[in-house]
Structure 1
């Protein structure tokens, strides 16, 4: 049986060095990322370190970061009246 990228990451989760933004809030509501050699970029919820891990190609993460820097997602992170 061939090992998938997801299986490879599952066996490494506890050994990977995870990083989160210095802008993360004190209550721990943040995501953590790490580079998985030969696989890509892994992302997880910092409050649930043994939960789901999402895998992305480096180009996907680069596109997201460019969009975030350009302000494309600014409206998603701000509480708006009537929207929680």
Structure 2
């Protein structure tokens, strides 16, 4: 199976989906999974069946560095 952007997340098998510890269990989180080819899948925890967005490690690293640097804080205000 080719794993590309928009693939139903339920079709991504053999991976472990991770949720942030900050999640309080009310379905307000995204979940991420490391894919066999090194990419990272992201899905909405409220709709775990999909679709999933697929990012390269470099794309995920850039996003996380931006989040750690408070570049997106206004979106959660």
Give yes or no for TM over 0.5: yes
Question: Which 4+ residue blocks in structure 1 deviate beyond 6 angstroms?
Answer: none
Gaps of 5+ in 1: 79-84
TM norm structure 1: 0.76
| Aligned equivalent of 1:5 | 3
2-side partners of 1:12 and 1:37: how far apart? 14
Larger radius of gyration: 1
Higher RCO structure (Cα 8 Å, ≥6 apart): 2
Helix, strand or coil at the partner of 2:19: coil
Q: 1:75 aligned to 2:66?
A: no
Helix, strand or coil at the partner of 1:47: coil
1-side partners of 2:14 and 2:47: how far apart? 16
Count residues with an aligned counterpart.
75
2-side partners of 1:39 and 1:57: how far apart? 7
Gaps of 5+ in 2: none
Q: 1:54 aligned to 2:50?
A: no
CA-atom RMSD in angstroms: 2.2
TM norm structure 2: 0.82
